[in-house]
Every structure is written in structure tokens, then in C-alpha cells.
Amino acid sequence: MCQCYQTLSFLIHSPVLSFLLQFLCIKNIRWFLNACRVHFSMKTSELFDIYDLFELKDFKKVMNALSTLSRSELAVRHNRIAGFQHQEGHIQKLEDLNLSEMPDEDIYGPISREDDEGDKIYEDLCSIKKNRASVMSQSHKKTLSQFCIEELIETEENYVQVLRTVSENFIKNMQTGLMNRETINTIFINIEELYAVHRELCSDLEGVIERDAIADIAPIFVKAKKRLVLYAEYCAGLPAAQSKVDDIMKKNDVVKHSLADCEQQANGGKFKLRDLLMVPMQES
């Protein structure tokens, strides 16, 4: 138990959590901007860039967008409060606060992840498919801890399969000359390293079942904890990866069709590459 506590404590205080919170902030801003386009019919020229808000680069554009949003047809129809007209003086006062010099931890706190589409993707790909209540009713010999361990291993096996799909169905195909190394590194970040880590982790956990040695679980995670910091790099690079995918899908028809073929081969087209790239972030 002490070893498990030490591992969890390491992860909580590691860069992983910091990068994850920053990533979730960026994702929330992306969702907001998409909602403005889709539901409020706002033009791209009326909106701001993600980093105008995230890094406080251009708060004037943010305020202009919020002003336009408040006076949009849909907002006016559903609100009794009148929209506001942006005034330059307000922005000047805001800039006087030097918010851009504030440390990240003072700007961003924990973010709610309710109704997270990424969670649904992860759940669909990595969750346990069996009816545990039914399985437990069929065998009274297994202890509750044994069922928990088996469920942990099955989830890990499903996750490894997702990483294998990305590595073998996407990365290898893109390495045939469709993408240069820089683009591959931008999109897939360090997924192949994560794949290697979780293959080993899954194998070690399976060994616990074979040996019926529950006490060996904690040392397995202690051994893996330093390598799991790879998720800090992954979470930090994911926004750029998704933007690169979007850019390629718009500008390169050859790669676009090749990725569609990879998606079809991997999972019948049910999940797009963008969806699969979200899964490691949920695992972290």
C-alpha cells in the first residue's frame, strides 16, 4: 500500500498533471470556439485564436468575440439581458493588470470534464465489455480483489490494442513516404514509446494472474512510474497534433484518403485518427 501511495503521489506532483490541466484548458477553449461557429453562426474573423485566450496574447480579440456572441440572434432570443458593446477603455484597464506575467498555476485550476467526448471514446475502446455481475455470479471461488485485478488487466489489454492499432495501421503506413518524419513526430508524438511501456506493463500484470501473486502489483507500477511521465510530453503535444491532422485533411487529398483507408482497416471507420489520438490523454 505504501508503494502504491508513493506512485500516486509521484504522478500527482509530476509534470503530467500540470500538462494535462493545460491541455484541458486548450480543449475547452476549442470547444467554445466550435460552438460559436456551429450554434451561433459566428465567422472565423469574428473569433479569436486559442492562444489569444490561453496565453492572454490578445484579450481585445477575446472581448470582441464575446461582445459579438452576446449580440448574436440566438443569444438575444434566449436571454433577457441585452448584449454588450465592447469598449476599448475596458481592455486598457485589463492590460494594466499584466495578466500575461502571472504564473500558469494562478490562471488555471482544475477543470470539469463532464460530458467529455474524449471520455466516451476511451470508454468505447478500452472499457470492459463483459457483464461483471454475471461473471461473478458464475464463480464464487474468486475473491473481489481477483476480479478487480482481472478487470484492470483487461482494460490494459484493450488500451494496448488501441496503441497497437495506431502504431501498425497508421504510423507504419505513413512512414512509406506519405508523411515526412517531422509531420509523423508532430501527429503521433511519442505513441510508439507509450506502446512499448504499456506492452511491458500489460505483460507484467498478466504474470501476476498466472502466479496468483496480488502483492506484486504495487512493485510493477513503481517500476513503471518514471516511464509514465511520457504522458506529460504527449498531453502537451496533442493540441498541435490535432491541428496538424485538421490541416492535412484540408490540404492533402492523398494523405486524407490514405488515412481514411487506415481508419477503415483499423476499426471499420468507426473511429477517426483524431479520436484515437485522444485515447492516451484519457489514459493519463
C-alpha span between 215 and 202 (Å, rounded): 16
Other CB atoms within 10 Å distance of the CB of residue 130: 10
* Amino acid (one-letter) located at 256: K
* Amino acid (one-letter) located at 102: M
Digits of tens for pLDDT over the chain (284 positions)?
Answer: 555 545 545 444 444 455 556 667 877 888 899 889 988 899 989 999 888 888 788 888 999 999 899 888 888 887 766 667 766 555 544 444 444 444 444 444 443 443 455 555 656 666 555 444 444 444 445 667 777 788 888 888 989 999 999 999 999 999 988 999 999 999 999 999 999 999 999 999 888 878 877 788 888 888 888 888 888 888 888 889 989 999 999 999 999 999 999 989 887 878 889 888 988 877 65
In the structure grid, which three cell numbers stand for residue 227, read together?
Answer: 516511464
Structural contact between residues 52 and 62, judged by C-beta atoms closer than 8 angstroms: yes
Domains of the chain: 1-112 (1.10.418), 116-284 (1.20.900.10)
For the entire predicted model, the pTM comes to 0.55
Q: Which of 203, 196, 221 is nearest to 10 (CA)?
A: 221
What is the distance of C-alpha 195 from the center of its chain?
16
